[in-house]
C-alpha cells in the first residue's frame, strides 16, 4: 500500500497544473544543459622554488595548477636553455607537474624551461601556452634578448618547422659537433626570439633537424648561418635575416612498385609523345618523345618529319638526352599546321637489342597565336648589376625563367595560366638559383616571392608593373 501511495504521489506531482491570474500551465520535469564548454586554460597557482629564484640549488621543480593537469608530447615541446646534456624528467599527478633535473647546472647561469603547449587541462585539453619557468644559479636573472627572422632563400617563403640555434663563445665547427646552447622556435612569420641571455659573443644558425641530433651533419638538411658573430649587449637586439637552404636535394626513393615488391618488366620497346593527350605542339617548344627503355643505338636518317602531305620538312633537328630515353625534335613550327613524325621499325634499338614492334607514325598539330597571351612586364627600380631573373611557377615547379636585362619585357606567345612569380638575384649570373655552402662560407642566392599571382589570358594583352 505504501508503494502504491508513493507512485500515485509522483504521478500527481507530474500532472500538477498551476493557475495564476487566468493563465493555466502544467509544470514539466527538465534536465540541466551542462553549461558552456570550458575553453579556459589552466591557471598556475604556485611554483616551488618560486619563479625567478636566484642562487638555485634544487634538482626538482614543482608546479601546482587550479585543476587537473596532463603533460602531452613533452619531448617535442620542452625547450631548456641553456640546452642540457640530459633532458629533465617531467611527470604529472592530479593538479601537480614535477620536473626532475638530471643535468649538472652551470654556475652563474640563467635557465629557462619553456614547456610549449605540453601543459593542458585534463578534461578539455586547453593548453597553458608557452609557459616558461626561469631561475638562476647566480645572483641575478639575465634579461637580454636577441630576435630575428629566417627566410627560405629559394622561395622567399617561411618554413616554421626550422629552429633557430645559438652557440656562446664557440668556433665554426660547433654546429656540426655538438648541440646548441640555446634553441628558439620560429613562428608562422619566421620570427624567433631568444630570452634571458647573458652579455657575450654568439654564433647564430637555423636548422631543420633531420635526425634529431641538433647538429648540422647532412647536406640535405635545411640550414642557415650568419657569417659573423653577434655580440649581445642590450635588450631587444636584432640579428640580420638568415636565409635557409639545402645544399643538396634529398633524393628519396619514389619507387611505385606493387605491394608484392616486384615490377613487371615491359618486354616491348615503346615510344610516347610528351606534348599531351591532345597532341597540340607549342610554337616555341621542341617536340619530345619518351622511350620506356634506354636506347643503345639510334639512326636519325630513319626518323623523318613531314607536313600533312608527307613532304619532308627541311631544317628539323633531332637529339637524344643523356638518359638516352628522351628524344627531342626542334623545328621552325608553322602556326596551326599538321605534322607527321615517321619512325621506321629499325630506327632505334634498346640495350637488349629490342627494336620497335612496327613502324610508327605520330601525328600532331601546332597551336595558333590566339592560343597564347601577349605578356608585357615593366620593371621599376631595375638594377641590372644584380642579375635579376624572373621565375614563373605552377605548384612550386619552375615553368619559365627569364633574365631581366631591360626595363620592359614582352612575349606575344606566353602560355596562358595562373603563375606564382619570384624574383631571383642571380649572383653568379648562371640563370639558376644556387644554394649556399657552410664550409665555403657562401650564402645562398636570394629569391623574393611576389605577393600576388600573375594571370595570363589567351588572346589578351596582359600588362603588369613590377616593383623590384
CA distance 275 to 286: 9
| pLDDT of the residue at 404 | 92
| pLDDT of the residue at 14 | 44
CA distance 274 to 26: 80
Grid coordinates given for 139: 645572483
pLDDT tens digit string along 89-126? Answer: 999 999 999 999 998 999 999 999 999 999 999 989 99
pLDDT tens digit string along 308-331? Answer: 999 999 999 999 999 999 999 999
Mean pLDDT of 188-196: 96
The secondary structure of residue 414, as a DSSP letter, is E
pLDDT tens digit string along 264-277? Answer: 567 889 998 987 65
| pLDDT of the residue at 384 | 86
The percent of residues in the chain predicted with pLDDT above 90, rounded, is 78
Of 6-10, 54-58, 192-196, 323-327, which gets the smallest average pLDDT?
A: 6-10
| pLDDT of the residue at 102 | 93
Angle at 397 between CA 393 and CA 398, to 5 degrees: 55
Phi-psi region of 204 (alpha: psi -120 to 50; beta: other; left: phi over 0): beta
* Long-range Cβ contact pairs of 112-115 (< 8 A, separation 24 or more): 112/79, 112/80, 112/81, 112/195, 112/196, 113/61, 113/78, 113/79, 113/80, 113/88, 114/78, 114/79, 114/80, 114/81, 115/74, 115/77, 115/78
pLDDT at 21 over 50: no
The answer to whether residues 361 and 342 touch, using CB atoms and an 8 Å cutoff, is: yes
pLDDT at 30 over 60: no
Instruction: Tell me which of 2.40.50.140, 3.40.350.10, 2.60.40.1120, 3.40.50.2000 is the CATH number of domain 144-244.
Output: 2.60.40.1120
| pLDDT of the residue at 36 | 61
Question: If residue 379 lies in a helix (H) or strand (E), which one and from where to where?
Answer: strand 373-380
| 271-367 topology per CATH | Immunoglobulin-like (2.60.40)
Domain 44-136 belongs to what architecture?
A: Sandwich (2.60)
User: Closest Cα partner for 423 from 376, 386, 460, 459?
Assistant: 386
The answer to whether residues 424 and 461 touch, using CB atoms and an 8 Å cutoff, is: no
pLDDT at 6 over 60: no
The answer to whether residues 41 and 127 touch, using CB atoms and an 8 Å cutoff, is: yes
Strand partners, 200: 232
pLDDT at 83 over 70: yes
Of 31-40, 313-322, 436-445, which gets the smallest average pLDDT?
A: 31-40
Q: Is the peptide bond before 49 cis (omega within 30 degrees of 0)?
A: yes
Locus of grid cell 500527481? 12
User: Closest Cα partner for 122 from 93, 91, 79, 99?
Assistant: 93
Helix (H, G, I), strand (E, B) or coil at 75: helix
pLDDT tens digit string along 382-432? Answer: 888 899 999 999 998 999 999 999 999 999 999 999 999 999 999 999 999
CA distance 447 to 398: 13
Of 58-62, 253-257, 306-310, which gets the smallest average pLDDT?
A: 253-257
Q: Name the pairing type of β-strands 144-152 and 242-244.
A: parallel
CA distance 48 to 13: 56
CA distance 169 to 287: 59
pLDDT at 361 over 70: yes
The answer to whether residues 392 and 356 touch, using CB atoms and an 8 Å cutoff, is: no
- Domain layout of the chain by residue ranges: 44-136, 144-244, 271-367, 371-467
| pLDDT of the residue at 18 | 40
pLDDT-based confidence at residue 7 (cuts at 50, 70, 90): very low
**Highest mean pLDDT, choosing among 34-43, 237-246, 381-390:** 237-246
What is the chain's length?
468
Average pLDDT, the chain: 88
Residue 452 has φ and ψ, to the nearest 5°, of: -120, 145
The secondary structure of residue 371, as a DSSP letter, is G
| pLDDT of the residue at 445 | 97
Q: Are the folds of 44-136 and 371-467 the same?
A: yes
Grid coordinates given for 446: 636570394
| pLDDT of the residue at 20 | 39
The secondary structure of residue 127, as a DSSP letter, is B
Of 8-12, 266-270, 359-363, which gets the smallest average pLDDT?
A: 8-12
pLDDT tens digit string along 124-179? Answer: 999 999 899 999 999 999 999 999 999 999 999 999 999 999 999 999 999 999 99
**Model pTM score:** 0.78
The percent of residues in the chain predicted with pLDDT above 70, rounded, is 88
The secondary structure of residue 264, as a DSSP letter, is P
Domain 371-467 belongs to what architecture?
A: Sandwich (2.60)
| Continuous H helices in 53-181 | 74-77, 174-177
The answer to whether residues 377 and 419 touch, using CB atoms and an 8 Å cutoff, is: no
Helix (H, G, I), strand (E, B) or coil at 215: coil
Amino acid at each position: 500500500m505504501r508503494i502504491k501511495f508513493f507512485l500515485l504521489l509522483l504521478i500527481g506531482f507530474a500532472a500538477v497544473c498551476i493557475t495564476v491570474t487566468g493563465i493555466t500551465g502544467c509544470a514539466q520535469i527538465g534536465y540541466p544543459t551542462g553549461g558552456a564548454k570550458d575553453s579556459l586554460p589552466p591557471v598556475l597557482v604556485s611554483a616551488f622554488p618560486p619563479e625567478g629564484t636566484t642562487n638555485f640549488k634544487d634538482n626538482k621543480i614543482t608546479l601546482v595548477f587550479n585543476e587537473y593537469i596532463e603533460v602531452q608530447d613533452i619531448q617535442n615541446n620542452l625547450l631548456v636553455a641553456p640546452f642540457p646534456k640530459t633532458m629533465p624528467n617531467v611527470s604529472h599527478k592530479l593538479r601537480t607537474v614535477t620536473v626532475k633535473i638530471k643535468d649538472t647546472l652551470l654556475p652563474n647561469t640563467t635557465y629557462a624551461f619553456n614547456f610549449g603547449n605540453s601543459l593542458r587541462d585534463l578534461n578539455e585539453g586547453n593548453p597553458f601556452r608557452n609557459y616558461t619557468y626561469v631561475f638562476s644559479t647566480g645572483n641575478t636573472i639575465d634579461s637580454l634578448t636577441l630576435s630575428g627572422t629566417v627566410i627560405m632563400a629559394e622561395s622567399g617563403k617561411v618554413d616554421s618547422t626550422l629552429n633557430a640555434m645559438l652557440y656562446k663563445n664557440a668556433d665554426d665547427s660547433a654546429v656540426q659537433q655538438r648541440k646548441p646552447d640555446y634553441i628558439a622556435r620560429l613562428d608562422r612569420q619566421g620570427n624567433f626570439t631568444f630570452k634571458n641571455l647573458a652579455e657575450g659573443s654568439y654564433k647564430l644558425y637555423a636548422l631543420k633537424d633531420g635526425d634529431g641530433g641538433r647538429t648540422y651533419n647532412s647536406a640535405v638538411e635545411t640550414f642557415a648561418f650568419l657569417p659573423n658573430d653577434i655580440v649581445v649587449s642590450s635588450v631587444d637586439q636584432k640579428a640580420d635575416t638568415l636565409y635557409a637552404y639545402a645544399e643538396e636535394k634529398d633524393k628519396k626513393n619514389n619507387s611505385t612498385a606493387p605491394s608484392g615488391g616486384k615490377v613487371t618488366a615491359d618486354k616491348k620497346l615503346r615510344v610516347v609523345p610528351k606534348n599531351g593527350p591532345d597532341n597540340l605542339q607549342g610554337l616555341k617548344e621542341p617536340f619530345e618523345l619518351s622511350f620506356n627503355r634506354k636506347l643503345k643505338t639510334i639512326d636519325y636518317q630513319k626518323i623523318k618529319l613531314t607536313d600533312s602531305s608527307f613532304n619532308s620538312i627541311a631544317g628539323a633537328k633531332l637529339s637524344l638526352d643523356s638518359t638516352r630515353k628522351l628524344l627531342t625534335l626542334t623545328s621552325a613550327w608553322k602556326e596551326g599546321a599538321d605534322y607527321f613524325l615517321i619512325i621506321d621499325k629499325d630506327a632505334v634499338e634498346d640495350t637488349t637489342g629490342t627494336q620497335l614492334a612496327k613502324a610508327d607514325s605520330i601525328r600532331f598539330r601546332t597551336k595558333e597565336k590566339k592560343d597564347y597571351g601577349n605578356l608585357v612586364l615593366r620593371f621599376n627600380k631595375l638594377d641590372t648589376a644584380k642579375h635579376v631573373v624572373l621565375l614563373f611557377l605552377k605548384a612550386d615547379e619552375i615553368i619559365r625563367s627569364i633574365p631581366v636585362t631591360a626595363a620592359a619585357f614582352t612575349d606575344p606567345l606566353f602560355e596562358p595560366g595562373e603563375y606564382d612569380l619570384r624574383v631571383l638575384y642571380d649572383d653568379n649570373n648562371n640563370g639558376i638559383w644556387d644554394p649556399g655552402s657552410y664550409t665555403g662560407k657562401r650564402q645562398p642566392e636570394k629569391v623574393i616571392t611576389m605577393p600576388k599571382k600573375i594571370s595570363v589570358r589567351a588572346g589578351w594583352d596582359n600588362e603588369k608593373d613590377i616593383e623590384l
